[in-house]
Amino acid sequence: MGIGFSIPLACLDDLDRKFEDFLVRSLSFGGSDTRIISDSKQQTTINAPGKIPKMPSLDSGDERFQAAVKLQKVYKSFRTRRQVADCAVLVEQRWRKVLDFTELNRISISFFDFEKPETVASRWSRARTRAAKVGKGLSKDERARKLALQHWLEAIDPRHRYGHNLQFYYVKWLHCESKQPFFYWLDIGEGKEINLERCPRSKLHEQCIKYLGPTERKAYEITIEDGKFLYKQTGRLIDTRGGPEAAKWIFVLSTSKTLYVGQKQKGKFQHSSFLAGGATLSAGRLVAEDGILKAVWPHSGHYLPTEENFEEFMLFLKDHNVDLSIVQVRTAA
């Protein structure tokens, strides 16, 4: 069975056409309003309304004519490459959503398919898959930190609802002695009508953590040059003074010693977002101005970094020639 994708590029095409019209109208050949459209098969001229059609004053050998043709070909080539790149990103995102939906169906409804019940071996296989997701990266470094226990629920939930909120419903499920699996109970089964005061259903469904895919993650990757922090993809220096006054900037150091930095959004973008719930060497908060690190502290509710994890991060900074003499080290959140 095939899966179709609808790529919403109509707005981009419309913008391209408008830009192309402007580009062509901007070309002037001795005061003529003649527009030249060229492709590999034919050349066409369109005259402005109200004027008698006439042949362009320039022949195909004229330098200005050739320049116009070349300019249009270069622009069309750029537009095609951009659309192909946009399609690739959108297709990857759609596939991730399809896989998440499939996983949700597998861990909930399929459990109660009495016509074709799940075997014990299948259940153990499913459990190993979910555990591997949370422990991704642990094999690279024994000092790595996996997600705190309450946030395991967040990682294995296909919707990645905030682990802090899920734990309230998880405790309720434990005490109700239901024989239904937790996520089935929560979304489809006996617990679907339960609405807890400490975390209403509206809040539970609204606060879903963004888990980055490999392509999305690159936008947050940091490189350190001459002791300064800058985004590897754009070359822009990190400056945490931008944004809301109370904004918090967070970081994680992966087990392959790649640093990621971004602005925290509670209930939407947190430490677990960078590595999609995978293990980290260190995690915390930082302050930077024009790429220069000013303050850092090891605070993460998702990973609960230890002193050893923080020392690992400080060693990483030292190895990359960061001036630690001007860095304020904080211990409180």
Q: How confident is the model at residue 74 (pLDDT cuts 50, 70, 90)?
A: confident
The top-scoring range by mean pLDDT among 20-24, 175-179, 193-197 is 193-197
What mean pLDDT do residues 231-238 have? Answer: 96
The top-scoring range by mean pLDDT among 35-39, 147-151, 208-212 is 208-212
Distance CA 91, CA 71 (A): 30
Whether the Cβ atoms of residue 39 and residue 69 lie closer than 8 Å to each other: no
Report CA dihedral (282, 134, 192, 164) to the nearest 10 degrees. -10
Q: How confident is the model at residue 291 (pLDDT cuts 50, 70, 90)?
A: very high
Least confident piece of the model among 23-37, 90-104, 143-157? 23-37
pLDDT of 65? 76
Distance CA 208, CA 220 (A): 19
What mean pLDDT do residues 84-100 have? Answer: 58
pLDDT of 46? 46
Gap between the terminal Cα atoms of the chain? 51
pLDDT of 151? 85
Integer CA distances (angstroms), 287 to 63, 226, 274, in order: 55, 18, 18
Distance CA 46, CA 37 (A): 8
Please, which residues bridge with residue 261 across strands? 251
Share the mean pLDDT of the chain: 76
* pTM attached to this predicted model: 0.61
3-class DSSP state for residue 203? helix
Distance CA 155, CA 180 (A): 20
140-143, Cβ contacts within 8 angstroms, sequence gap of 24 or more = 140/255, 140/256, 141/255, 141/281, 143/281, 143/308, 143/309, 143/312
Question: CA 311, 278, 327 angle in degrees (round to 5)?
Answer: 30
Least confident piece of the model among 68-82, 106-120, 252-266? 106-120
